[in-house]
Structure 1
Amino acid sequence: MPVPSRLLAASGVLALALALAGCGEDEVPEAVPSLTVSLAAPQLREVTSDVVASGAVAAWEEVSVGVELSGLRVATVAVEVGSVVAAGDVLLRVDDRTLASQLAQSDAQVREARTNLETARRKAARIRELADSQMVALQDAEEAEAARANAEARLNTAIASRDAARVQRDFTVVRAPVDGVVSARSVQPGQVVGAGTELLRLIRDGRLEWRAELAEGDLLRVDAGTPVRVEAPGGGVVEGRVRTVSPALDAQSRTGTVYVDLPDPGALRAGMFAQGRLALGRAQALLVPGDAVVRRDGRAFVFTVDDDGRVRERVVELGGAQGDLVEVRDGLAQDDRVVARGAGFLGDGDLVRVVEGEDAVDAADAASAKAARATGAVAE
């Protein structure tokens, strides 16, 4: 015959009352440690201090090339993207027939003005001789001198016009202003171009640089000349050195830029995004096991153990990894001891059992595995 549910509930309450009565009024159930852990002391070692950053590969200096004339048709383009050019090399030519004709006309005007000047000089000299002999009036000699001066002025004007026409004609040949590599071309033969329009772009000296963004604290540790290793596609490494450090930081992101020269960029190309490592030299650093660090909500923590066996959560600032160890820059002292294993299963204030000696690692590993299985069971 089934037992009524009301009777079962009453039996449960009675059993609970008997259990509490057996404990006595002053007895409190003993707290049970949630995990068995091992501790580790931070190690002070001399390490190679570095900063990992990401940034874009760019041209050290880009030169925009165009024409200074408008309405002329491009005759030939002598370079392609990737062409290596020297200063003065011809890049392109525009149709110069109109300007060549204007130059020829200016040359003729110069010759005419020079002939007129010679005639005016001889005439002025003869009239001056006659005036000195009082055979002609002095006014005639002065008029002849004025005509000679006007002829000389017209010759100077014609020469200036010819020089201007020659400069215009020379503009039809576009030459490389610097040594470099052609990185962009936006012109084709037959195209009618305008003054000021970019037709070609050069990377000056073919020189590339890596521009990395660093946080305020890291930026202050970088100086010009700092060695840098930039990761290239395919797993290669490109060596470089910091050329200069930005004197100002972005007001919003609180980051600054370092400019790294890449003398031999290898597989790197302008526009790529790459990761690099800036070597800041050797320094003393506080290291803890990597398993002791817990990362949550964008922050890093370690756990220390109080005398009463309860763990305390400590926020730390991390540096670079050194094998199985991690550098702690702030938030921990050398005489502190941290939970070396199982930290990921702890919360602030948890009671733990600390094991020492040869069996400490095995016990901590077993406890961590047990906690992981329990966590998985709860999740299920």
Structure 2
Amino acid sequence: MNYETTIRSEAAEAYRPDISQFDDAPAASRKKWIAIGIAILFAGALAMYFLVAGGENGAVGAGDDASQRPAITVIAPGQTTIAGMITATGTLAARREMPVGVVGEGGRVVSVPVEAGQWVSQGQVLAVIDRSVQVQQAQSSSAQIEVARSDARLAQANLDRALQLVERGFISKADVDRLTATRDAAAARVKVAEAQYRELLARNARLNIVAPAAGLLLTRAVEPGQTVGAGTPALFTIARGGEMELLAEVGEVELAQLSTGVAATIRPVGTDKDFTGQVWQLAPVIDAQRRQGTARIALPYAPELRPGGFATATISSGTVVAPVLPESAILSDDEGSFVYIVGKENKVERRRVETGLVSANGIAVVKGLAGTEKVVLRAGGFLSPGETIRPVLAKAGS
């Protein structure tokens, strides 16, 4: 046994490498080889760590069913007080438009002292009609009154004399009756002549075309020298008091949400100025073809409001306290509007709803939701009732 040990020791001595050559290597070279070795060891340890960690995580993920569910964004809307607004378009018009035409028998127009766009007062002359013939007729009628009065005075005098002679027996009772009738007829002719004269004066007064009420003169369709008569179309148009209105066309659903007295903001086309008005009348009928009705919005006078112009109205349709959802959360089909909510065990449930006012923040749900439910915000069209999801509550403002 000692022999073997001696032999192996001698063999080891015989094959011992000569490292004297490395003793002569520079110190920098030795440090380089040491650093390379340390880096290789570190890289191997790091690879082993990720290999083990990845295997552990993979085993957990494969056994966790929740990780396989789709992540769906949901929202809890709560209750919100919103002011409903309805936008409509329409045409500006005079609220009370008064056409003014020939009232009397007409004639040749002598002068027109007004222009369109002017303010006129009640009774102001708008057009003067030639009345030279009518003046002569009035003078003739006045003379007829004097003739009738003279005849009446003569008949009264004859009756007075006859009554004196009756007492003496020179005139019979029948003659007195005849003279009395003559006196009464003469007095009646006086009244007839006076009535005819007043009639002529009234006709002459109606020759001039006057403003029936104060307001803004919108149109003028007559010039001096023109002959007008009873069949002539309206010569002037007046907006009484200068009041304007917007004839806003509103859908039948929105019209049902409006009431008289609500405020509205009007913006005419071509201007960035807003005007405040008030709904004063709602159409009692709906157009069968367009399914729309008219909301008449009263407006005070302003130079920018011109009848016939086009304008946009924003009408307040009241306030309501209800859950408000974005449009993406509300779906619809043949059965109506509905939403998807997250029920027990994160299963999707279909909930039928009724929508109401529309605002800038969303659509009010007036029936079907209490506001505490978790409602699918988006991707509702890709879900089906009973499907299990992983709900992710949306942040405020998302």
The answer to whether TM tops 0.5 is yes
Segment of structure 1 superposing worse, 184-193 or 266-275: 266-275
Aligned equivalents of 2:325, 2:74: Cα separation in 1: 11
Q: CA deviation at 1:109?
A: 0.7
Q: CA deviation at 1:270?
A: 1.9
Equivalent pair of 1:316/1:332 in contact (CA under 8 Å) = no
Q: Which of 124, 138, 143 is the matching residue for 1:103?
A: 138
Aligned equivalents of 1:279, 1:193: Cα separation in 2: 48
Q: Deviations over 1:180-218 (max 9, x none)?
A: 111122111111112043111111111112233334443
**Aligned residue number for residue 263 of structure 1:** 300
Question: Per the alignment, in what secondary structure is the counterpart of residue 317 of structure 2?
Answer: strand
Q: How do residues 1-380 of structure 1 correspond to structure 2 at under 5 angstroms?
A: 37-70=72-105, 72-196=107-231, 197-233=233-269, 234-265=271-302, 267-289=304-326, 292=329, 317=355, 319-323=357-361, 325-329=362-366, 334-340=371-377, 347=382, 356=392
Aligned equivalents of 1:342, 1:265: Cα separation in 2: 50
Amino acid at match of 2:236: L
The alpha-carbon distance between structure 1 residues 276 and 169, as it changes in their structure 2 partners (threshold 3 A), is same
Aligned equivalents of 2:172, 2:131: Cα separation in 1: 53
Equivalent pair of 1:103/1:165 in contact (CA under 8 Å) = yes
Q: CA deviation at 1:268?
A: 2.1
Q: Deviations over 1:350-372 (max 9, x none)?
A: 99975737xx88xxx9xxxxxxx
Equivalent pair of 2:112/2:126 in contact (CA under 8 Å) = yes
Aligned equivalents of 1:356, 1:139: Cα separation in 2: 121
Q: CA deviation at 1:349?
A: 5.2
Question: Per the alignment, in what secondary structure is the counterpart of residue 314 of structure 2?
Answer: strand
Q: CA deviation at 1:59?
A: 1.7
The alpha-carbon distance between structure 1 residues 112 and 35, as it changes in their structure 2 partners (threshold 3 A), is farther
Aligned equivalents of 1:353, 1:304: Cα separation in 2: 11
Equivalent pair of 2:242/2:301 in contact (CA under 8 Å) = no
The alpha-carbon distance between structure 1 residues 178 and 264, as it changes in their structure 2 partners (threshold 3 A), is closer
Amino acid at match of 1:162: Y
Equivalent pair of 1:309/1:353 in contact (CA under 8 Å) = yes
Aligned equivalents of 1:208, 1:291: Cα separation in 2: 40
Question: Per the alignment, in what secondary structure is the counterpart of residue 177 of structure 2?
Answer: helix
TM-score (norm 2): 0.69
Question: Per the alignment, in what secondary structure is the counterpart of residue 79 of structure 2?
Answer: strand
Amino acid at match of 2:264: V
How many residues are aligned here?
326
Gapped regions of structure 1 (runs ≥ 5): 1-32, 366-380
Q: Percent identity?
A: 29
